[in-house]
């Protein structure tokens, strides 16, 4: 049996690995009071301080956390986040029990992949399949193109370029295509990765003087699936390397599949010769799902989790959340969790549960509360914001504050201008700049979500 202090040491390693994976700022925001609570039937329940954090972790970091936890405790099959918002005393009391249950797991060797593990050779997650991808008018062309690619590898639609906004199912479809290829052609070498991963691996290869090994690794494959190629914008050296990798694979009739949040001609700071490669096969888009498709997605996700609701639940969520699938899944997760604590899920109760996912909750925030929250988040003083200091950092914070005052307090441009002692045209420019940037800057989106979570908690 592993002594308690050894368990503490191992759990600290889990936390350190999570911090290294997600970054210190994200870790400090989302993983505070992240503690093991119970371990029953190979399921580790981890306590978090609020429902908002629970839903955010489930949507954004579940697989990262699961992979790291399983590295140290191989027998764990699933993890679950549970809310313990009132006090941590229960967690503290239960900790010794959890330690006892987990001690025996800590020293055991790794087991084989479970259905939820990412395949280390391909980077594919087997939970993404064609049979659980809901097809509708918004994605049927892209789905048909992927099916055609599987049947005609390297000969039809090569490369295949799929584009669409965040959260519409691009990653699911790309990985499902890879998994289908793997199922049919068992001996083929397939590699799925994000463009950010590709870039980081290339940078490390340059730093470690292992570029030849890097090139061999990505040219000794039969199918290359590269997600989020818009990340290449402005990265000239990585573009150069991908261009030559593309040519090598293409000349050998190897299949190449790309995804992006926009069509090739709209990706800024990309070499024309690489754009022409992107456009050389089939370019097809995926749009946000229509109402019928959203309802079908909700029913499938609900079924996968062993829960069945009345149709009004799925229809209300589908009407309320129209932007993307992630938003739908987040709303459904909250309803599934909250429904455990009510005798009957009525339309009125459903609206109450989902209120936090809408702007209605943010509309009540006063300008004073918004300003106070942002000052605390960025650890600056109010005079730093009001003074006409032109440092790049402070300018960006002012623009974000203007966005929140306009979006969630609904102040007029003139009223915001009075706060900052600026012309209202400057306020309009700042607001619109953030709105535009949010469409393409994932880091800014995450920053906005973090601030919103702090507004909720306050």
8 Å CB contact between 59 and 329 = yes
What does the pLDDT read at residue 4?
44
What residues have CB less than 8 Å from 376, skipping those under 6 apart? 454
Q: Of the candidates 121, 192, 175, 185, which has an alpha carbon nearest to the alpha carbon of residue 153?
A: 185
Q: Are strands 223-227 and 255-260 parallel, antiparallel or unpaired?
A: parallel
In this structure, the number of other CB atoms found within 10 A of the CB of residue 164 comes to 23
* 313 pLDDT higher than 80: yes
Instruction: Give residue 282's pLDDT.
Output: 95
Q: Are residues 257 and 158 in the same domain?
A: yes
Query: Are both 272 and 138 inside the same structural domain?
Result: yes
Is 43 inside any structural domain? yes
- Residue 95, Cβ neighbours under 10 Å: how many? 19
Place of tokens 């800024």: 268
- Pair 315, 300: CB distance under 8 Å: no
* Cα distance between residue 36 and residue 91, in whole Å: 7
Percent of the chain residues topping a pLDDT of 90: 33
User: 3-state DSSP call for residue 224?
Assistant: strand
pLDDT at position 172: 93
User: What residues contact 252, with CB distance under 8 A and at least 6 apart?
Assistant: none
pLDDT at 115 over 80: no
Does residue 119 fall inside a structural domain?
no
Over residues 21-44, the mean pLDDT reads: 78
**Average predicted confidence (pLDDT) for the chain:** 82
- Residue 121 covered by a domain: no
pLDDT higher than 70, residue 337? yes
Give the CATH number of the domain where residue 10 resides.
Answer: 3.30.300.180
Residues 449, 386, single domain; the answer is yes
Give CA separation, 37 vs 17, 92, 100, 300, 450, in Å: 19, 8, 12, 30, 25
Residue 125: is its pLDDT beyond 50? yes
CATH code for the domain in which residue 337 is found: 1.10.8
Tell whether 176 and 215 lie within a shared domain. Answer: yes
Predicted pLDDT of residue 275: 93
**310 and 234 share a domain?**
no
pLDDT attached to residue 212: 92
8-state DSSP, 8: H
Highest mean pLDDT among 247-251, 269-273, 440-444: 247-251
Closest CA to 123 of 164, 63, 54, 207: 63
Read off the pLDDT of each residue in 283-291 and give the average, rounded to a whole number: 90
Structure letter (DSSP) for residue 73: -
The structure tokens listed for 137 are 């008018």
Listed residues 317, 339, 357: the one ending a domain: 357
152 and 79 within one domain: no
The radius of gyration computed from the CA coordinates of the chain, to the nearest angstrom, equals 24
Selected residue with higher pLDDT from 174 and 322 = 174
Same domain, 299 and 388: no
Burial class (CB in 10 A: 0-12, 13-18, 19+), 59: middle
User: Does 118 map to a domain?
Assistant: no
Question: pLDDT tens digits for 154-183?
Answer: 988 999 999 988 778 899 999 999 999 999
Residues 320 and 398 occupy one common structural domain: no
**Which of 331, 357, 383 is the last residue before a domain boundary?**
357
Question: Sorting pLDDT into bands at 50, 70 and 90, what band is 357?
Answer: low
Q: Where is pLDDT greater, at 170 or 116?
A: 170
Share of the chain above pLDDT 70, in %: 86
Give a yes or no: residue 394 inside a domain: yes
| pLDDT tens per residue across span 48-100 | 888 878 888 888 888 888 888 887 777 777 788 888 744 443 344 444 445 54
Say whether pLDDT at 250 is over 90. Answer: yes
Q: SS3 letters for 91-109? A: HHHHHHHHHHHHHHHHCCC
Say which residues have a Cβ less than 8 Å from residue 436's Cβ, sequence separation at least 6: none
Is 248 in the same domain as 137?
yes
- 410 is a domain residue: yes
Whether 74 and 185 share a structural domain? no
pTM > 0.85 = no
* Average pLDDT estimate for 307-327: 87
Please tell me the predicted confidence (pLDDT) of residue 86.
46
Number of domains in the chain: 4
Per-residue pLDDT for 107 more than 60? no
Residue 320: inside a domain, yes or no? yes
275 and 394 part of one domain:
no
For the cut 70, the answer to whether the pLDDT of residue 133 exceeds it is: yes
Q: Give residue 302's domain range.
A: 291-357
**DSSP codes joined into one string, 358-421:** SHHHHTT--HHHHHHHHHHHHT--HHHHHS----HHHHHHHHHHHHHHHHHS---HHHHHHHHT
CATH classification of the domain holding 174:
3.40.50.300
Query: 268 and 306, same structural domain?
Result: no
* Mean pLDDT of the region 26-30: 81
- Neighbour count for residue 392 (Cβ, 10 Å): 7
Q: In this structure, is residue 113 part of a structural domain? A: no
Q: For residue range 412-444, what is the model confidence (pLDDT) as tens digits? A: 788 888 888 888 788 888 988 999 898 888 778
Report CA dihedral (111, 197, 79, 170) to the nearest 10 degrees: -110
- Decide: 257 and 223 in contact? Cβ < 8 Å: yes
Residue ending a domain, choose from 324, 342, 357: 357
């Amino acid at each position: 049996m592993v002594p308690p202090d050894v368990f503490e040491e191992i759990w600290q390693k889990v936390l350190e690995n999570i911090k290294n994976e997600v970054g210190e700022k994200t870790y400090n925001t989302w993983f505070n009071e992240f503690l093991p609570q119970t371990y029953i039937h190979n399921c580790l329940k981890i306590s978090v301080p609020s429902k908002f954090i629970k839903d955010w972790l489930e949507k954004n970091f579940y697989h990262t956390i699961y992979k790291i936890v399983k590295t140290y405790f191989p027998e764990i099959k699933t993890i679950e986040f549970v809310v313990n918002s009132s006090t941590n005393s229960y967690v503290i009391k239960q900790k010794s029990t959890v330690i006892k249950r987990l001690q025996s797991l800590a020293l055991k060797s790794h087991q084989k992949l479970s259905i939820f593990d990412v395949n280390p050779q391909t980077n594919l997650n087997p939970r993404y399949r064609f049979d659980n991808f809901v097809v509708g008018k918004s994605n049927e062309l892209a789905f048909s193109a992927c099916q055609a690619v599987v049947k005609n590898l390297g000969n039809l639609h090569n490369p295949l370029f799929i584009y669409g906004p965040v959260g519409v199912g691009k990653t699911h479809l790309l990985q499902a295509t890879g998994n289908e290829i793997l199922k049919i052609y068992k001996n083929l070498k397939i590699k799925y990765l994000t463009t950010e991963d590709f870039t980081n691996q290339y940078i490390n290869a340059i730093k470690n003087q292992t570029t030849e090994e890097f090139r061999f690794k990505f040219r000794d494959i039969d199918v290359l699936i590269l997600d989020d190629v818009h990340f290449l914008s402005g990265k000239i050296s990585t573009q150069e390397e991908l261009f030559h990798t593309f040519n090598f694979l293409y000349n050998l009739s190897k299949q190449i599949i790309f995804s992006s949040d926009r069509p090739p001609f709209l990706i800024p700071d990309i070499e024309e010769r690489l754009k022409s490669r992107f456009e050389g096969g089939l370019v097809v888009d995926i749009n946000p799902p229509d109402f019928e498709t959203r309802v079908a997605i909700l029913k499938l996700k609900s079924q996968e989790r062993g829960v069945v609701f009345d149709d009004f639940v799925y229809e209300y969520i589908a009407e309320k959340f129209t932007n993307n699938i992630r938003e739908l899944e987040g709303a459904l997760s909250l309803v599934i969790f909250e429904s455990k604590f009510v005798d009957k899920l009525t339309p009125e109760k459903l609206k109450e549960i989902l209120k936090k996912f809408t702007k209605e909750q943010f509309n009540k925030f006063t300008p004073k509360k918004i300003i106070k929250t942002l000052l605390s988040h960025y650890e600056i003083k109010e005079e730093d914001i009001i003074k006409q200091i032109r440092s790049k950092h402070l300018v960006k914070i002012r623009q974000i504050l203007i966005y929140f005052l306009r979006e969630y307090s609904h102040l007029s441009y003139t009223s915001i201008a009075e706060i900052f002692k600026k012309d209202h045209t400057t306020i309009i420019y700042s607001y619109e700049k953030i709105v535009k940037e949010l469409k393409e800057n994932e880091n800014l989106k995450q920053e906005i979500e973090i601030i919103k979570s702090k507004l909720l908690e306050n």
